[in-house]
Amino acid sequence: MNVNLTPNDLSHVVAADRAHVWHHLTQHKPYETVDPRVIVEGRGVKVWDATGKEYIDAVSGGVWTVNVGYGRETIADAVRDQLVKMNFFGGSMGSVPGALFAEKLLEKMPGMSRVYYSNSGSEANEKAFKMVRQISQRFHGGKKWKILYRDRDYHGTTIACLGAGGQDERGALYGPFPDGFVRVPHCLEYRKQWDDVSGADYGRRAADAIEEVILREGPDTVGAICLEPVTAGGGVIVPPEGYWPRVQEICRKYDILLHIDEVVCGLGRTGTWFGYQNWGVEPDFVTMAKGVASGYAAISCTVTTEKVFEMFKDDASDPMSYFRDISTFGGCTAGPAAALENMRIIEDENLLDNCLAMSERLMGNLEKLKEKHAVIGDVRGKGLFCGAELVADRETKQPVEEKKAQAVVAGAMVRGVIIGCTNRSLPGMNTTLCLSPALIVTPAEIDKITDAIDGALTEVFG
Ligand code: PMP
């Protein structure tokens, strides 16, 4: 560790954090007796906490974000140079990095055409929802206003995004939600909803279930469907082959806009620039956030086709025709400056190739762990976005108790590896260890990650 703080300063920092900071997604009661963990420094895939303990971070900043790893001086330099030159101008003005990043991003997204900037994944999704509603108002008499979303998907933390969220525990305390968001079934074959089919047929069957919802609601009332390419927090759900082509077909059949939420998968996480590109999907909206600047600055994008963009243009100076939306900090240049350099790194260091190679090793190691530990019911993943679902019983697929899943995460932490775990507390929902190291991870680091999980599973389950 190479922090510029003395141990005394650090104990002050920890005390200040304990006294004054309200952490995300955290029950603070235990901090009455123990210190919160404060992460002080990072380099590559490693981080150090305020006690000096070193960890391999197998979740890229906790939430699948730091795709190019920690300590990237060229990103910091690009942001610094940009900020002293021109840090911010909001509203309708453009910026140099905003223009250049949009150009570079769209090179990787054939068929897509326009980039709308904001600050978080939730916001990027809300922008797309608003665009769908505006299109409905202007071109369908307000009738095509419903937005479909999938069980177990997550699209963000705002009230509208929670309304479009398929993880009930996240929204349970915050309703009522706005009308017009309609749920379709998930596509996780491990937890089968249709017994008579499997593989690609299962994928097509799960997509057919979307059509059933559209027909129930009335195709004229459905404007869009919002889906994660691979469901993240809902349990690392990779749709079976057959799913995406059928979804595309259904969207075209009923003139429904396809919104892909790439907030987690975007910028290389699944070994392609975007998750949807694994299946040749042609979306109308793509939203992205976390990996766009690998957490070096806050930035999100709502990317659309030219066809969508054209619907917001009007020669007749109609003040209600353009997209009547603004995000103050969508005008901050730190985001696109960081994002531009982040993309250069992914490209120049061939991180998509490394992602695929390391994915093979990680998935292979997880399969071996599954042979050894009966508590692992299923292993799944795409690129460096992998999960191992924990079940108390392989026959019934009952999830393990929450406290046991927590003990596995804690056990890995003691062994110097930070891992994630999804949906721990929901009865009937799956409990999936979640692994998504930075795309620069090495074979030796992958092995350390799975060795730590092996040790933690043995400790907790024998
Ligand atoms: N979409 C997906 C798929 C996500 O996983 C998340 C965040 N975990 C979001 C949207 C929301 O992003 P943010 O937290 O930046 O608002």
pLDDT tens-place string over residues 247-279 = 999 999 999 999 999 999 999 999 999 999 999
Cα 94 from Cα 102, distance rounded (Å): 11
Cα 229 from Cα 232, distance rounded (Å): 9
Residues of the chain with pLDDT below 50 are: none
Which of 122, 170, 238, 432 most suits a substitution to test ligand 1, by most atoms within 8 Å of the C-beta?
122
pLDDT at 422: 86
Cα 393 from Cα 128, distance rounded (Å): 41
Name the CATH superfamily for 7-68+350-461.
Aspartate Aminotransferase, domain 1 (3.90.1150.10)
Q: Which residues, judged by CB distance below 6 Å to any ligand atom, belong to the binding site of ligand 1? A: 63, 120-122, 125, 154-157, 228, 232-233, 261, 263-264, 289
pLDDT tens-place string over residues 156-205 = 999 999 999 999 888 999 999 999 999 999 999 999 999 999 999 999 99
- Cα angle value 148/266/305 (rounded, 5°): 60
Only one residue has tokens 């909803």, namely 193
pLDDT tens-place string over residues 23-34 = 999 999 999 999
Are 318 and 82 spatial neighbours (Cβ–Cβ below 8 Å)?
A: no
The listed CATH number (3.30.465.10, 3.40.190.10, 3.40.640.10, 3.40.50.1370) that belongs to domain 74-348: 3.40.640.10
Cα 421 from Cα 153, distance rounded (Å): 15
Alpha helical stretches, state H, 262-333: 306-310
Cα 75 from Cα 84, distance rounded (Å): 14
- Beta strands per DSSP E along 262-390: 285-288, 300-304, 376-381, 386-390
Nearest ligand 1 atom, CA 262: 3
Q: List the beta bridge partners of residue 117.
A: 301
Q: Is the ipTM of this complex over 0.95?
A: yes
Are 435 and 58 spatial neighbours (Cβ–Cβ below 8 Å)?
A: yes
First-to-last CA distance in the chain? 34
What sign does the dihedral 360-363-366-367 (CA atoms) show? negative
Domain locations in the chain as residue ranges: 7-68+350-461, 74-348
